[in-house]
């Protein structure tokens, strides 16, 4: 019978005890946090979207594309699926042992570290299944060797030690760890550069749409440059780790292909906006629901840019939205004024 508020379901007055519940690692906590952050921002934006009265389409388009690009950059920067490989193996559980296990080993190589997973059947009927997930960082020159020594001290299974040894050795032909580390380092720097340009582009989209399009193109170029540089710096000779039953081979992972697709998307969207804005600004105003004041601000910014390059803009006689672009006249040797041909452009109804 309970004597107090907190005595129910306790035996002999002792504290409540819960059994051990160990679970295997399924997802990277940092990536899950980035996914949740993106979903929260997108959900909050969709809630306030009906309250936006002016430029609703422009706001929805800019925010959706911007959130997607920013999330892709961050997820792929910290993701571990740039170069991946899996294989079904049958090998000793530990060195100098006759006990063999049948398991599936997987390797996921990222820009800052690599993960080794091992899933297999239990060693006996009373043991739990094998679930190992070990991450070794290579931010420093000696991090891989330090991680490999720590794995030896922990007594990890032989398949994990075999894979880690291929990345820790750095002499003669065993340079796979060095190549992957170089590829990850330079790709990491390029992705952060693209992220900085992406931040600047968000500000420019709110000011002048054309300049925001230019920044989006630059972001896409940096993302494609990241893909190209990573592929070039991969090991010249393919890494193959031989086990019983199967050879562990590597292929490009979803992080690589996602960055490639996002880079192409940024270039296509940015180039489309820039071309349409230059050729038919009145259609751009209609598509993005721009008001006259914003269109006027963009026109004045373009006028200042043209005047700084030595051109003059004057309104075409009899038209309100046609302007002449003429290069400033220069003096000929005989003091004659040389007239430059004028170009008439349609800037839309301002």
DSSP annotation string for 202-240: HHHHHH-HHHHHHHHHHHHHHHHHHHHHHHHHS-SSPP-
Residue 94 pLDDT > 90: no
Average pLDDT score over the chain: 78
Residue 24 pLDDT > 80: no
Where is pLDDT greater, at 93 or 324? Answer: 93
Q: Are 164 and 136 in contact (CB under 8 A)?
A: yes
* Cβ density class 303-318: b for 16+ within 10 Å, e for less: beeeeeeebbbeeeee
Nearest alpha carbon to residue 261 among 41, 36, 68, 62: 68
pLDDT at 199: 92
pLDDT at 348: 47
Backbone angles phi, psi at 121, to 5 degrees: -75, 155
State how far the Cα of 158 lies from the Cα of 93, in Å rounded to an integer: 6
Residue 25 pLDDT > 80: no
Percent of the chain with pLDDT over 70: 70
For tokens 């906006």, name the residue: 273
Listed in sequence order, the residues at least 6 apart from 251 whose beta carbon sits closer than 8 Å to its beta carbon are 83, 84, 85
pLDDT confidence bin for 283, thresholds 50/70/90: low
Residue 237 pLDDT > 80: yes
pLDDT at 125: 56
pLDDT at 97: 74
For tokens 């992080």, name the residue: 255
For tokens 């170069």, name the residue: 83
Give the pLDDT confidence of 243-259 residue by residue, as tens digits: 887 888 999 999 999 99
pLDDT confidence bin for 213, thresholds 50/70/90: confident
Q: Are 216 and 203 in contact (CB under 8 A)?
A: no
Q: Are 311 and 236 in contact (CB under 8 A)?
A: no
Q: Are 282 and 290 in contact (CB under 8 A)?
A: no
Nearest alpha carbon to residue 259 among 61, 112, 31, 68: 68
Where is pLDDT greater, at 99 or 252? Answer: 252
Rg of the chain on CA atoms, in Å: 30
Total residue length of the chain: 350
Q: Side-chain half-sphere of 26: how many Cα atoms within 13 Å?
A: 3
43-51 mean pLDDT: 84
Q: Side-chain half-sphere of 182: how many Cα atoms within 13 Å?
A: 13
This prediction's pTM: 0.73
Give the pLDDT confidence of 142-161 residue by residue, as tens digits: 888 888 898 888 888 888 98
Give the DSSP per-residue string, 240-282: -EE-SS-EE--EE-HHHHHHHHHHHHHHHHHHHHHHHHHH-HH
CA distances from residue 240 to 2, 86, 94, 212, 349 in whole angstroms, order as listed = 65, 11, 21, 45, 64
């Amino acid at each position: 019978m309970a004597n107090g508020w907190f005595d129910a379901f306790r035996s002999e007055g002792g504290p409540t005890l819960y059994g051990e519940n160990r679970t295997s690692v399924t997802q990277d906590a940092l990536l899950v946090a980035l996914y949740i952050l993106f979903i929260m921002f997108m959900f909050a934006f969709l809630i306030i979207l009906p309250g936006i009265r002016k430029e609703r389409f422009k706001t929805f388009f800019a925010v959706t594309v911007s959130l997607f690009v920013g999330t892709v950059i961050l997820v792929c920067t910290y993701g571990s699926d740039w170069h991946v490989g899996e294989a079904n193996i049958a090998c000793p559980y530990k060195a100098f042992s006759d006990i063999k296990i049948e398991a599936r080993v997987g390797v996921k190589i990222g820009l800052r570290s690599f993960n080794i997973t091992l899933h297999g059947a239990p060693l006996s009927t009373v043991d739990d299944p094998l679930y190992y997930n070990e991450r070794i960082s290579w931010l420093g020159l000696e991090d891989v060797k330090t991680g490999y020594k720590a794995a030896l001290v922990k007594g990890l299974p032989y398949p994990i030690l075999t894979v880690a040894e291929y990345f820790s050795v750095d002499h003669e032909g065993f340079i796979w760890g060095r190549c992957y580390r170089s590829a990850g380092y330079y790709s990491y720097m390029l992705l952060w550069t693209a992220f900085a340009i992406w931040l600047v582009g968000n500000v420019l989209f709110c000011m002048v749409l054309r300049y925001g399009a230019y920044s989006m193109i630059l972001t896409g170029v940096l993302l494609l440059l990241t893909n190209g540089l990573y592929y070039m710096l991969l090991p010249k000779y393919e890494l193959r780790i031989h086990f019983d039953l199967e050879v562990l081979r590597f292929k490009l992972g979803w992080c690589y292909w996602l960055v490639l697709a996002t880079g192409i998307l940024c270039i296509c969207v940015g180039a489309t906006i820039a071309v349409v804005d230059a050729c038919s600004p009145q259609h751009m105003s209609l598509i993005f629901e721009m008001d006259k004041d914003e269109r006027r601000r963009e026109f004045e910014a373009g006028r200042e840019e043209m005047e700084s390059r030595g051109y003059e803009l004057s309104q075409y006689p009899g038209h309100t939205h046609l302007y002449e672009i003429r290069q400033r006249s220069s003096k000929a040797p005989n003091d004659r004024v040389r007239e430059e041909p004028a170009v008439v452009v349609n800037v839309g109804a301002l």
